[in-house]
Chain A
Amino acid sequence: MGILTEIIHAGNWDEDPTGASSVPVFRGSTYAQNDPDAHPRWDYGRSGNPTRAALEQAIAALEGGCAGFAFASGIAAINSVLLTLSAGDHVVVGEDIYGGTYRSLSVLFRRWNLSTTWVDASDLDAVRDAIQPSTKAILVESPSNPLLRICDLRAVAAMARERGILALTDNTFQTPLLQRPLEMGFHASIHSATKFLGGHSDVIAGVVAVSDPDFAKRLYAVQNGFGAILGPDDSWMVLRGIRSLAARMDMHQRHADRMARWLRARPEIAAVHYPGLEDHPGRDIHFSQATGAGAVLSFDLGDARKASRFLRSVKLALPAVSLGGVETILSWPSRMSHASMPPEERLRRGIGDGLLRLSVGLEDPSDLERDFERALLEAETI
């Protein structure tokens, strides 16, 4: 089935005898086990819930995977994937990655003896050189957060598979509509479903789709054992959000492309990072592995003072963390998503104090342009 059809029908609950157009929200925490000797399909809400299963089935179908998993947040999804590894293992991780992932690896997992080498994932030689005998996984994002750097996903997956290690990616920015990493050889595609999948900034959730049945078993053991599951109401909300994913992404992208070009034409802005721009580094690779540029971009106002003034002046865009909602969200990575990264690490990665990340929403772009124009002038003059 085509992805547009999958988006509408994936996860529809075949077992439902009522024929309901939408999966019911099963809030039961436990299930009657009428035959004590049989192994029931549903026994306990943490171990499995029909509403959550519908979402899990949907993300597996959209990503072309063999199984899906839903977690209480995007970072719970990433941490659960990393928890399939063991003490003493080593991971190679793209350095320009979500700040929360950086914090997990550099603080929590390090304490448990999982070591990390940070690399510029757009440089394949750097990725290869970082691999050690104890390396068990490579984790990358493409485009990266917040600089939208492009990583050659097929090459990274091939590198991992040659060595028999896991290829993991965070696909939050692109969604399976635009980019399907499992089809390029990845073992797991991880999402903060809070973003474009949920799409309305009204639910916190994480999902993972996996391509390999053995890895699916390992991840299920973590999901059931550690229990960072997504609740039934939120599972239902994410599934509901997914139904309009294609329609939303289509308009998100068109507006993002327009905003990227508008921002680039402004003299106040030092740089605009967006894979849709013709001169964006790695653009050809991006469009060989994705069908769209997505709706997240970043731009540099030069310094913290201007960024702060701009954020104070904008009225229409929501100054906030997060992205992927119907509303335009403007964040300040050095103070928000990447605040958990030490300043010297941030600067080394090119995340300056003047950098702002824009998740372009579904408002009329001319209203956004007017709002930004006024805010840019105020940021310059005040």
Chain B
Amino acid sequence: MPIHLAATYRHPGLGRSTGWDYSRSGNPTGQVLESLLATIEGANHAFTFASGMAAVDTVLRLLVPGSRIVVPEEIYGGTWRILERLCEPWGLKVRWVSFRELVERPGGVLAGAEMVLFETPTNPTLLDADPTGVLQVARQMGCLSVVDATFLTPVLLRPLELGADLVVHSGTKYLSGHSDLTAGVVATRDQGLAERIGYLRNTTGAVLSPFDSWLLLRGLKTLSLRVRRQQDTARALASALPGLPGIVRVVYPGRGGMVAFEVDSADRVRTLLERARVWIFAESLGGTESLVTVPASQTHADVDPAVRERLGITDRLVRLSVGLEELDDLVDDLRSALGGEPWAS
């Protein structure tokens, strides 16, 4: 697929168009990507955005001041920030619930809400659930359901097939898979929602550039290979972690390439980050390289400390994004980075 960098398109005549008018409104490279994303999501329409947050922001703009949205506290810190710091001052009513509450009694939790937005597994606590129940209840109650499926990708989870109205992604993560671009995705089966999302994107303009569209398209060719291999490695790694020095708790939901663990002291986290050689200490996830993140000070730094404490996002919690390296190298590196003297705290 060529990269169409053109900003504008020559019209064949007055009132006529080649189908392409202006690059913000649509360009051939982006369209090929969007039709592939729609296909793999089981959607009818997909839209790409300049970032994952731009995608979430656009979905939230479907609501109006006074609208009620239900969101579990266990959610990506950037989504927490946009809701708490930007949307609430504009009059959006956010009802924060726990992920468990949402899954166990969706009927009670969703009463009076126009939208529910959640992730599964949650970031970074990795609580996981089959979202079908929540999605069906939301549908019955006329509440728009939005699933952020960044962690599992359509290879492992297709929320639209389970009844979700909208699925969002940070395309920066597994979809592109090489930590070399920033992108967001929204997909839906609903014609009316698609028209509204398309209108919002064209109006607010947080579009994905043709070059990044092409790069994301290139990444998708290996999506399935990468995600399955990352899942295999993550599973094996999760079984090896309990034997490593200082680890007191391991969380792995059984699917996907994300693993979390808790160690006995914050000092041990610091040492791990200093000593790790194979694991890269960085935010983000889903790349070919394995990343280690401390959510309390990185991805969830903007979340209210009291909320973080309640959710268990402490300075002893470590999040791993498992890459495509050799399992043994990943385990050995963690072992030596965590090991040594017992750490007093």
Contact = CB atoms under 8 A, between A and B. Distances in A.
Interface of A: 17-28, 50-51, 236
Contacts, number: 54
A50 B2 contact: yes
B10 A24 contact: no
16 contacts: A18-B6, A18-B9, A18-B28, A19-B10, A19-B12, A21-B6, A21-B7, A22-B4, A22-B7, A24-B28, A25-B3, A25-B4, A25-B214, A26-B2, A26-B3, A50-B2
Contact of A24 (B6, B7, B12): B6
Place the interface of chain B in its size category.
10 to 19
B29 A24 contact: yes
A22 B22 CA distance: 12
B214 A20 contact: no
Interface in B1-26: 1-12, 18-20
Most B C-beta atoms less than 10 A away, residue of A19, A22, A26, A236? A19
A27 B7 contact: no
B214 A27 contact: yes
Contacts of A22: 4-7
A19 B2 contact: no
Contacts of A50: 2
Nearest to A49: B2
Contacts of A23: 6
Contacts of A18: 4, 6, 9, 18-20, 28
B209 to A, nearest CB: 12
Given A17-B18, A18-B28, A19-B12, A28 B7 contact: no
B3 A21 contact: no
Nearest to B2: A24
A28 B2 contact: yes
A31 B238 CA distance: 44
B229 to A, nearest CB: 25
A151 to B, nearest CB: 40
Contacts of A51: 2
A19 B19 CA distance: 9
Given A19-B11, A22-B5, 13 more contacts: A17-B18, A19-B20, A21-B7, A21-B8, A21-B10, A22-B4, A24-B3, A24-B4, A24-B6, A25-B3, A26-B2, A28-B1, A28-B2
Contacts of B214: 25, 27
Q: Which 3 interchain pairs have the tightest Cβ spacing?
A: A20-B6, A24-B2, A19-B10
A339 B33 CA distance: 49
Contacts of B29: 24
A20 B20 contact: yes
At the interface, is chain A mostly helix, strand, loop or mixed?
loop
Contact of A27 (B2, B8, B9, B20): B2
Nearest to B18: A19
Contacts of B8: 21
A359 to B, nearest CB: 28
A21 B6 CA distance: 5
Contacts of B3: 24-27
Contacts of B9: 18-21
Nearest to A236: B5
A21 B210 CA distance: 14
B99 to A, nearest CB: 42
A24 B214 CA distance: 11
A91 B193 CA distance: 70
Contacts of B5: 22, 24-25, 236
Contacts of A28: 1-2
Nearest to B218: A27
Nearest to A50: B2
A99 to B, nearest CB: 35
Nearest to A27: B3
A28 B218 CA distance: 11
A24 B7 CA distance: 11
Nearest to B28: A18
A26 B211 CA distance: 11
A158 to B, nearest CB: 44
Contacts of B10: 19-21
A20 B4 contact: yes
Nearest to B3: A25
A243 to B, nearest CB: 13
A245 B183 CA distance: 34
A18 B4 CA distance: 10
Nearest to B8: A21
A62 B294 CA distance: 57
Nearest to B17: A19
A272 B194 CA distance: 67
A236 B3 CA distance: 10
A242 to B, nearest CB: 15
A17 B9 CA distance: 10
B51 to A, nearest CB: 23
A18 B9 CA distance: 7
A18 B20 CA distance: 6
A32 to B, nearest CB: 12
Interface string B221-259: 000000000000000000000000000000000000000
A18 B6 CA distance: 10
B261 to A, nearest CB: 41
Nearest to B19: A18
A326 B115 CA distance: 53
Nearest to A24: B2
A27 B215 CA distance: 11
A25 B218 CA distance: 14
Nearest to A240: B5
Contacts of A25: 2-5, 211, 214
Contacts of B2: 24-28, 50-51
A236 B211 CA distance: 12
Nearest to B22: A21
A17 B20 CA distance: 10
Nearest to A12: B10
B246 to A, nearest CB: 47
A240 to B, nearest CB: 9
B217 to A, nearest CB: 10
Nearest to B10: A19
